[in-house]
């Protein structure tokens, strides 16, 4: 299996400046840092749940980079921490959500962790049932089209979600109505313990787009710059009225499905260890080092900055007040 070191990204003229590459890298480092801490916080009994997007940071940062924050809508699923950070959610807000505090801007501490939403940032909450966000995103995109607003909606989901009826209904309707939506499938090869080859007999998820009348494209989800390029084409296409695109990014799932899962029950140690070698952060780091944009000291400083930012946010959120019990029915029923 190739490692991050021998599948180096090649420098390319994609119009991004070195400073922008470093910002992309920092979001990847920050997402990994928050994710690792969230897992530990759960193991220490301080937060009730976590799901990790480790291995998916390049796909998330590259794709979210193609959006216009403040204009576009992002409908994430539970592994898209890096994407919501790019759109502007702060580490403190992420921690308020994880600790289910009253000031959690996502839901006032009511929704499960990793169900991010923000009206201000255009982030629309996922529902816990897999794939329900797909038709919802198509509805949002249809509303933008009817109102002649410039927003593009991007909805994220996994390869398992692509087996649900909601996937087919959503994509079919999007094609018929020609709405400004980008379907972003993070194909990490697993739906909990079900491997991709048991999910579909087809070669890819992306090839299904043809039957709905719009393009489908497969991209190396470990290559942040390639993902950004492909997503930018899809977003520009949607914004100019040319309709939907389905993107399938091949990624890896470096952690178990969730804190409740033990992936060593269905994956071999050798497979898991060799996958760690493909780490998208390492891949981008090697590219930045060879491009002269980053050096070892700068890299260390970025990890330290992410660590300090995350620790500060944990202390802030843990000390923040819990929702008042009498507020438990708020936001459920119209007053």
Chain position whose Cβ is nearest to ligand TPP: 158
Instruction: Kindly tell me which residue out of 69, 70, 129, 195 binds ligand TPP, with binding defined by CB under 6 A.
Output: 129
Identify whether 266 is a catalytic site residue: yes
Residue 45: burial class (beta carbons within 10 Å; 0-12, 13-18, 19+): exposed
86 is an interface residue for ligand TPP by CB under 6 A: no
Q: Which helix (H) or strand (E) holds 6?
A: none
* Annotated active-site residue in 237, 253, 263, 269: 253
| Number of Cβ atoms within 10 Å of the Cβ of 322 | 10
d(CA 247, CA 186): 8
Exactly one of 79, 101, 136, 283 binds ligand TPP (CB under 6 A); which one?
A: 79
CB 109, min distance to ligand TPP, A: 21
Binding segment toward ligand TPP, per CB under 6 A, in 33-41, 127-135, 205-213, 326-334: 127-135
Could you give the CA distance from residue 102 to residue 331 in angstroms, rounded to a whole number? 13
* Interacting positions 238-267 with ligand TPP (CB under 6 A): 253, 257
Q: Which of 257, 267, 269, 331 is catalytic?
A: 257
Order of strands, edge to edge, in the sheet holding 245-250? Answer: 73-75, 153-158, 181-187, 245-250, 216-220
Which letter does DSSP use for residue 118 in this model? B
- Number of residues near ligand TPP (by CB under 6 A): 16
Q: Which is nearer to ligand TPP, 60 or 159 (CB)?
A: 159
CB of 328 to ligand TPP, least distance (A): 23
Q: Which of 232, 205, 221, 194 is nearest to 72 (CA)?
A: 232
Per-residue contact flags (x/-) with ligand TPP for residues 154 to 193, judged by CB under 6 A: ---xxxxx------------------------x-x-xxx-
CB of 209 to ligand TPP, least distance (A): 17
Catalytic residue among 36, 168, 266, 267: 266
**Up-side HSE of residue 168: CA atoms within 13 Å toward CB?**
4
Nearer to ligand TPP among residue 129 and residue 241 (C-beta):
129
Q: Take residue 9 and report the two structure tokens written for it.
A: 């990204």
Task: Round to whole Å and give the CA distance between 220 and 208.
Answer: 18
Distance, in Å, from the CA atom of 50 to the CA atom of 35, rounded to the nearest integer, reads 8
Give residues in contact with ligand TPP (CB under 6 A).
79, 128-130, 157-161, 186, 188, 190-192, 253, 257
Catalytic residue ranges: 253, 257, 266
């Amino acid at each position: 299996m190739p490692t991050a070191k021998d599948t180096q990204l090649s420098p390319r003229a994609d119009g991004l400046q070195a400073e922008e590459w470093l910002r992309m890298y920092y979001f990847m480092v920050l997402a990994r840092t928050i994710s690792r801490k969230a897992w530990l916080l759960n193991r220490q009994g301080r937060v009730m749940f976590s799901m990790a997007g480790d291995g998916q940071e390049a796909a998330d940062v590259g794709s979210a980079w193609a959006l216009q924050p403040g204009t576009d809508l992002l409908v994430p699923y539970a592994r898209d921490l890096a994407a919501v950070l790019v759109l502007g959610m702060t580490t403190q807000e992420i921690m308020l959500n994880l600790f289910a505090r009253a000031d959690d801007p996502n839901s006032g501490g009511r929704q499960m962790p990793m169900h991010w939403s923000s009206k201000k940032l255009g982030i629309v909450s996922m529902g816990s049932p897999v794939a329900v966000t797909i038709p919802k995103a198509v509805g949002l995109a249809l509303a933008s089209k009817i109102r002649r607003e410039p927003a593009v909606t991007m909805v994220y989901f996994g390869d398992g979600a692509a087996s649900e009826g909601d996937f087919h209904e959503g994509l079919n309707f999007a094609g018929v109505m020609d709405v400004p939506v980008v379907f972003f499938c993070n194909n990490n090869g697993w739906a909990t313990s079900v491997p991709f080859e048991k999910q579909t007999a087809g070669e890819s998820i992306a090839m299904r787009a043809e039957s709905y009348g719009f393009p489908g494209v497969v991209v190396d989800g470990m290559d942040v710059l390639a993902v950004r390029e492909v997503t930018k084409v899809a977003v520009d296409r949607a914004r100019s009225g040319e309709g939907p695109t389905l993107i399938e990014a091949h990624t890896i799932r470096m952690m178990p499905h969730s804190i409740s899962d033990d992936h060593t029950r269905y994956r071999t140690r050798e497979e898991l260890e060799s996958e760690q070698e493909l780490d998208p952060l390492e891949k981008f780091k090697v590219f930045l080092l060879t491009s002269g944009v980053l050096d070892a000291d700068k890299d260390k400083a970025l990890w330290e900055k992410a660590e300090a930012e995350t620790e500060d946010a944990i202390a802030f959120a843990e000390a923040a007040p819990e929702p008042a019990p009498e507020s438990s029915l708020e936001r459920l029923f119209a007053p």
